[in-house]
Homo-oligomer: A and B are copies of this chain.
Amino acid sequence: MAAATRPGAAPVEARAPRARRVLPAEVRTDHLISAAADLFIAQGLEATTVDDIVARAGVAKGTFYHYFATKADVLVALRERFSQDFAARAAAAIEAVPDTDHPARFNAWLRAAVSTYLANFRLHDVVFHDFTHDRRRSREKDMVIGQLAALLEAGQEAGAWNLPNARAAALVLFDGMHGVVDDAIAAGQLDPAPLCGMLEQMLGRILVR
């Protein structure tokens, strides 16, 4: 049923309306995503209301719905942004290493992954909360796993190691790394260096000739 009073009709008391600032869609969208990200981290996903988001972004509620059909849609946009950033950093780290030294490339991936994850786990938690088990595979995880699997396959072809199944190995390495870093975070240990050393040694065992 429709609203009883005509929206947009003159308000009972004249209040100074908010100054209207017209911004390019792209900029507004980004402001909104960032406001949402900050609040999701600080208060959690469910506890953050659309009112909170628009208040922080300094716009009216309608503006939010001008850009996102649904509260859940901001999360989708945020996840996209997050994953692309993760992949870009890992790729940069790998490419900084000569593409003939496969163990060094893996270690570069490992260090980038550990430190990026340690630096952003709070956002990570928000962004993947609903995806870990439910869907088990997401475009986002596939992007990351695919990247690592490609690295492993390149090493395999070059004879750097001998893996029965590159995708499965990528999963063990990624999720193994994830689990160890999660445990470190829970223990309050946020320095990547010792973790990387230990993981290089432990995970390196899987990458044997």
Interface residue from B11, B175, B206 paired with A175 (Cβ < 8 Å): B175
**Alpha-carbon separation in the docked complex, A37 to B179 (Å):** 27
* Majority DSSP secondary structure for residues of A touching B: helix
**Alpha-carbon separation in the docked complex, A185 to B171 (Å):** 13
Q: How large is the interface on A (under 10, 10 to 19, 20 to 34, 35 or more residues)?
A: 35 or more
User: Assuming A172-B176, A186-B137, A205-B205, is B164 touching A198 (CB within 8 A)?
Assistant: yes
Residues of B contacting A19 in the complex (Cβ-Cβ under 8 angstroms): none
A157 to chain B, nearest CB (A): 19
B172 touches A180 (CB 8 A): yes
A169 touches B202 (CB 8 A): yes
Residues of B contacting A11 in the complex (Cβ-Cβ under 8 angstroms): 29, 33, 77, 80-81
B4 touches A30 (CB 8 A): no
B136 touches A82 (CB 8 A): no
**Across the A-B interface, the 3 shortest Cβ-Cβ residue pairs:** A175-B179, A10-B26, A172-B176
24 contacts between A and B (CB under 8 A): A1-B72, A1-B120, A2-B82, A4-B43, A4-B46, A4-B48, A5-B34, A8-B33, A8-B81, A10-B25, A10-B29, A11-B29, A11-B77, A14-B26, A125-B133, A137-B182, A163-B202, A168-B199, A172-B179, A172-B180, A172-B203, A174-B179, A202-B206, A205-B206
Besides the contacts A1-B120, A4-B47, what 8 more A-B pairs have beta carbons closer than 8 Å?
A1-B86, A10-B29, A12-B29, A129-B133, A168-B202, A176-B176, A178-B179, A206-B206
